[in-house]
Structure 1
Amino acid sequence: MTRPYEICTKCVMDTSDPDIVFDEQGVCNHCHTHDLQIKRKVFSGEEGEKKLKEIVDRIKDKNKNNDYDCVIGVSGGVDSTYVAYKVKQLGLRPLAVHLDNGWDSELAIKNVENICRKLEIDLHTIVLDWNEFRDLQLAFLKASTPDSEIPSDHAIVVSMLRTAKMINVDNILTGYNVKTETHLPAEWSQGHFDWGYIKNIHKKFGKVKLKTFPHLNLANFLFPPYSKKFINILDYIDFSKKDAMPILEKEIGWRYYGGKHYESIYTRWFQGYWLPTKFGYDKRRSHLSSLICAGEISRDSALEELKKSTYPEDLQKEDTAYVLKKFDLTQEQLDSILNAPRKSYWDYAPYGRVYRTLLYRVLRKLYRAVKHRG
């Protein structure tokens, strides 16, 4: 039976998230999670300044004899760019890592190069093998799960971890922040660190052996080696996207892409065309909802934004033609994938299934006990 349509009374998340839950006031679970995470993980004012200073001092002291003291990821988007801007203000010596997966827009490339030049940050670009990555990304499209961005996200995390190890530093400073990124439903996007999920999809739909693709393993998934390496420094400052953007434009000549993660042509096409068409998911809802809860926009303005097309029709057609060319697909082949039955993360035997087992829960307790004693 089809669920009656309902939309949150506080944000703009709705029943396009099949797992959404509303309280008696009509406020959704994502808003409650956002408020809880803000209390637990976000530090502002003097408290934030104090905690951030402690983090920065620790990083500087531990790496005083190294050429670099931390790693940052740079995509050219507002969050990662502001992290680069901020770490230089804090007197840190970062090495910037950029993952080239073959989909960067010209503006993205210019932004990344400009950021590093203006801020005098060394740039380490990791270029994925296109033949392998094309095959993996196409496999995800054929798998009909709602996030073909998982391979890129996975490769970015592993690439930053490997780079940190290469230059002998422990900390990776990221642009993730609770204020603006807590409304994304699990059904829309999960499995970012799950190599079992990625591997099984590729095994079923891929053709090219993945010899060089950077990835984690089952042990990494169950007992993450990166949990203390990543620091979300934007959670320690009074970060605001609307305030950050004009600063970046003025100080380093940064330019906006027109949408979250639109520095990638594929992301723009996938979020703007593929997700709404095949799954009925409009990721703008999650992005706008987080901004509403962060106090950056009003709910009314978000609703007005959602009335607009996900992005211009002529650009959609241009991007679709580019995607077809990059994947070496015909329109008929793409339409066949588009019309295939929808699947989810759980349809492909992911490592995530282990979380549901008693053995895992026992091993996890033992792991934490040993770690605590150490």
Structure 2
Amino acid sequence: MKICTRCIYDDRTPSISFDEEGVCNYCKQIDSLLETYKTGTLEGEQTLFGILDEIKKKGKGKKYDCVIGVSGGTDSSYLLIKAKEWGLRPLAVHYDNTWDSSIATENIRKVTSKLKVDLYTYVIDNKEADDIFRSFLLAGVPEFDASTDIGFVQVLRSAAAKYGIKYILEGHSFMAEGISPQGKNYFDGKYIESIHKKYGRLKMKTYPNMTFFQFMKWAMVYRQQFIRPLWYISYSKPEARKILTEQTGWTYYGGHHLENRSTSFLHTVYNPQKFGIDNRNWSLSAEARTGVISREEALEIYNTPIQPDPELITYVKKRLELTDQDYDDIMKGPKRSFRDFKTYKKRFENLRPLFFILAKANLVPMSFYLKYCFPMKSDDNNS
């Protein structure tokens, strides 16, 4: 097995390649983003402060000048603290897929209360949420939690439109988290619709799906800008957790994406056991690149088997009305991917030049352009 000499991605990683020094293309992608955004430099900070000045200027006379999505996790909670430090007037927005852990719920309450930030929460009907999750298990695809990501973004954009806000701030750091490899974790609104239509039992009435038309409307008509401040400044997750704990009483939930039961099930049970996918390599590779831990430490952690919580499996079976036999059939059943269902993938590829322009203008996330607008190995003509 060939492993990158800088991070811990190996040759099982989709669309990976290595240079003559054994450095993978994903490390090179991070280098390119560092150069583009001048991350952690004075120039990067000045660029961000220029954007922040524009946000304040455009938000004059309004109750809020930006929207920040919150999950109760480290990055979004820390971004709220920074936004207040920068003199912004954020509206915190949360999409409740009804699978939040009590720690996440308390974290959101603690941080927004301490910072005196208003919270807008959209709650999907829990039976409908469960029906969508169940559909993805029956489909046999790795993106069990895709509906949460799509729903969250749609709620963010809808809340911004409702309050006349042009700027959406997102707490993502490519330095701390990396960018997921091409070929992993693909999803869009058509994908959600396609899987649910085939395997769902209830109508989608309260789920905030995002169609292609809506996606383009938010970007080109409302011209909502997606800003990721942590792409411009130095950022340390351990330091962020320390600040959050000291200033707000925020509590750590034990690992990346474990603040929600659906994402916890995805990362600790479903993907590792059914597909052999261990998504710890994203954050571990990022930590190795930035020196938070050594590459050897990262490999040691990665090679330690994940210990799933048995109670979480019981919880999933009960909520999704799965017998032990149903669950076993799903875990041992066919492995499918987004290529087996209808998606917008080919459309995104065909419109790549347009999305490059929109990404440069922050009207769509740059990570969307990098991950979704290029052909993948073994791709077909799904559209």
TM-score > 0.5, shorter chain as reference: yes
Alignment of 1:195 onto 2:189: yes
Cα distance in structure 2, aligned partners of 1:361 and 1:252: 42
Match of 1:26 in 2: 22
Structure 2 segments unaligned to the other structure (5+ residues): 362-383
Cα distance in structure 2, aligned partners of 1:361 and 1:320: 40
* 1:227-285 Cα distance to aligned partner (Å, 9 max, x none): 75210011222111122121111111111111111001121121011111111110101
Match of 1:260 in 2: 256
Name which of 38, 43, 46 aligns with 2:42: 46
* 1:137-179 Cα distance to aligned partner (Å, 9 max, x none): 1111111111112100000000000001111110011101221
Name which of 330, 345, 350 aligns with 1:337: 330
* 1:69-97 Cα distance to aligned partner (Å, 9 max, x none): 11101111110011001001011111101
Structure 1 segments unaligned to the other structure (5+ residues): none
Match of 1:170 in 2: 166
- Contact 1:114/1:254, CA 8 A, preserved across alignment: yes
Name which of 205, 208, 212 aligns with 1:211: 205
* 1:335 counterpart letter in structure 2: D
* 1:340-360 Cα distance to aligned partner (Å, 9 max, x none): 111111110211122455xx5
Cα distance in structure 2, aligned partners of 1:224 and 1:66: 20
Shift in alpha-carbon separation, 1:109–1:361, aligned structure 2, 3 A: closer
Give the alignment's Cα RMSD to 1 decimal: 2.1
Q: How does 1:40-189 map to 2 (within 5 A)?
A: 40-189=36-185
Match of 2:380 in 1: none
- Contact 2:176/2:235, CA 8 A, preserved across alignment: no
Shift in alpha-carbon separation, 1:200–1:42, aligned structure 2, 3 A: farther
Alignment of 1:281 onto 2:277: yes
Cα distance in structure 1, aligned partners of 2:84 and 2:59: 15
Match of 2:376 in 1: none
Cα distance in structure 2, aligned partners of 1:233 and 1:120: 21
Which moved further from structure 2: 6-15 or 202-211?
A: 6-15
- Contact 2:176/2:287, CA 8 A, preserved across alignment: yes
* 2:8 counterpart letter in structure 1: V
Cα distance in structure 1, aligned partners of 2:157 and 2:215: 14
Cα distance in structure 2, aligned partners of 1:222 and 1:123: 26
TM-score, reference length from structure 1? 0.89
Cα distance in structure 2, aligned partners of 1:58 and 1:168: 15
Alignment of 1:350 onto 2:343: yes
Cα distance in structure 1, aligned partners of 2:294 and 2:21: 18
- What SS does the corresponding residue of 1:172 show, helix, strand or coil? strand
Give the drift of 1:361: 6.8
- What SS does the corresponding residue of 1:88 show, helix, strand or coil? helix
Give the drift of 1:118: 0.9
Match of 1:320 in 2: 313
Give the drift of 1:112: 0.7
- What SS does the corresponding residue of 1:255 show, helix, strand or coil? coil
* 2:195 counterpart letter in structure 1: I
- Contact 2:284/2:302, CA 8 A, preserved across alignment: no
- What SS does the corresponding residue of 2:83 show, helix, strand or coil? helix
Match of 2:365 in 1: none
Cα distance in structure 2, aligned partners of 1:348 and 1:222: 22
Name which of 9, 15, 28 aligns with 1:13: 9
Shift in alpha-carbon separation, 1:46–1:361, aligned structure 2, 3 A: closer
Shift in alpha-carbon separation, 1:361–1:230, aligned structure 2, 3 A: closer
Cα distance in structure 2, aligned partners of 1:80 and 1:323: 26
- What SS does the corresponding residue of 1:190 show, helix, strand or coil? coil
Cα distance in structure 1, aligned partners of 2:52 and 2:179: 29
Identity within the alignment, %: 38
Cα distance in structure 2, aligned partners of 1:154 and 1:50: 32
Give the drift of 1:27: 1.8
Shift in alpha-carbon separation, 1:176–1:356, aligned structure 2, 3 A: closer
Cα distance in structure 2, aligned partners of 1:119 and 1:221: 31
Shift in alpha-carbon separation, 1:291–1:327, aligned structure 2, 3 A: same
Cα distance in structure 1, aligned partners of 2:39 and 2:202: 46
Give the drift of 1:307: 3.2
